[in-house]
Structure 1
């Protein structure tokens, strides 16, 4: 096999999860393929119990171990690349992906599921991403069907997903709870320097680490720069905060980046929004990007407990 075979599975019981995942893992082991499990704690425990002491299985931190999808992509690319360089002609992995059923916002993890179709395409990888229908919201399941080319079933079939690639982009980003209040700062078509000055003044007194305060100022300046350089005016900047968290949004009237990898893959491109977006995705506690009623919005949260 060459390239990335991206498959999902929908299950409603623990037994159904094992019925799908265990043969997948055992098939990889029988073939002598590197077989990796990158699930959350519950599914990892289920697989350990079903597989017994199988030393050939490689257990990795699940995607929930990474607070940022860009970190997960970078780490998994290193792991898959290492196996490929060692001569693996097929790699198998079972991995859970965070979503609102776990109390985690979906926006950037939905983008992750879309982006890995390209980010992992160079590896001989068969990836199975199972979703528990008992806790996964319907809109997430719809996005999953659109981002996975194949669906594994309890009966052992591996079927093409009829929804694959249909209806992208993904679900509309969800506003932050801080947006229920009035913004502390609103600027329209302001220069990056003016935004930096306004943000520096606004976050004085908020309980942020020195690094987080720097990240807020950088993020605000970078997103506004991107909006002015690559978007369509007017470009509106807004900032909200509580005593320990800052939220900034930048909205313009453009379409936003066409590349699903924007912000999620390392890049050295300095003439596009790519490098700045990648830095944001590695430093901010939450980033969402997408079309909303009033335009294309980039939303970042820093500090506190993250996006709510």
Structure 2
């Protein structure tokens, strides 16, 4: 049976940890992890290298805590959800009645790509609710930007405290509401210049050919192939489920390629589209799920003129 704060609770307990020193982080996470081990629960750490080493040094040797390569797991939000769900399902199949995880996003996620990681933090309140999971998401208040911390409070129902308490987040917003908000991402500076490609009402084949031609050997082949898949899926969805006009635009920089696919419609109705494989494929949900796993950044925007997806291949962490 579930124990401690999770006793009597069905589904996912999703807590934030705000800390401003190593001691603060350890004061919350060490008892949490040791409590899981003592109860015979799968107990997992998915932190960056520095904080993983900090926790290893604070925990008894051979205590049974499982350390994952956190940086690899958090490459893309949709892939992270898929990987975690597979891991959690495996533990449940082995008989786990409760699972504990301490995790953190890489620092790069807190910059210009934060919009889709904020959506991830919100979406997992629903995506992991099938499992008896209790997780702590660690955020260093010394380095996390204030707008990010505001989103953390809105996407985590509670935050854990060093005395073992769990405090409600006054600003918490249900994911079905949060994910429907129009959250504009920072504009990519490449988009301030004319696109190198602009195609109206393209076929999927024309869209794929345009990506190959625009790249010209600049980006790694894997990044280009991933963008080709994403653009093809997105154009197909826009043509089938959106409203005309459908337009593909491409911009090319030294370290990335940016594509936008716009149509005159309102976009997907399901707020989890892209993050979860929603639907049966008839409404574009599966295609966008593939798209979100094929790019290094995806943004969505609804405006008076319709719906636009922006897809980035290569380095999405522009600085100017």
TM-score normalised by structure 1 residue count = 0.88
- 1:168 equivalent to 2:173? Answer no
SS class of match (1:290): strand
- 1:227 equivalent to 2:235? Answer no
**Structure 1 residue 38 displacement after superposition:** 0.8
Does structure 2 retain, via aligned residues, the 8 Å contact 1:149–1:160? Answer: yes
- 1:80/1:175 CA distance change after superposition, 3 Å: same
Of the structure 1 ranges 116-125 and 60-69, higher mean CA displacement relative to structure 2 is found in: 60-69
- 1:112/1:63 CA distance change after superposition, 3 Å: farther
How far apart are the structure 1 equivalents of 2:203 and 2:307? Answer: 19
SS class of match (1:288): strand
Does structure 2 retain, via aligned residues, the 8 Å contact 1:100–1:137? Answer: no
Structure 1 unaligned residues grouped into runs of 5+: none
**Structure 1 residue 4 displacement after superposition:** 0.6
RMSD: 2.6
Of the structure 1 ranges 122-131 and 288-297, higher mean CA displacement relative to structure 2 is found in: 288-297
- 1:133/1:231 CA distance change after superposition, 3 Å: farther
TM-score normalised by structure 2 residue count = 0.85
Structure 2 unaligned residues grouped into runs of 5+: 3-9
Greater than 6 Å deviation, 4+ residue runs:
none
Q: Deviations over 1:48-103 (max 9, x none)?
A: 12113143111112155442122222221122111111111111110002355765
SS class of match (1:301): strand
Q: Deviations over 1:87-142 (max 9, x none)?
A: 11111110002355765721221121122112211110001112111111122112
Of the structure 1 ranges 46-55 and 228-237, higher mean CA displacement relative to structure 2 is found in: 228-237
- 1:98/1:253 CA distance change after superposition, 3 Å: farther
- 1:71/1:198 CA distance change after superposition, 3 Å: closer
Match in the other structure for 2:16: 8
How far apart are the structure 2 equivalents of 1:159 and 1:165? Answer: 15
How far apart are the structure 2 equivalents of 1:238 and 1:257? Answer: 20
How far apart are the structure 2 equivalents of 1:263 and 1:5? Answer: 23
Match in the other structure for 1:121: 129
How far apart are the structure 1 equivalents of 2:159 and 2:153? Answer: 8
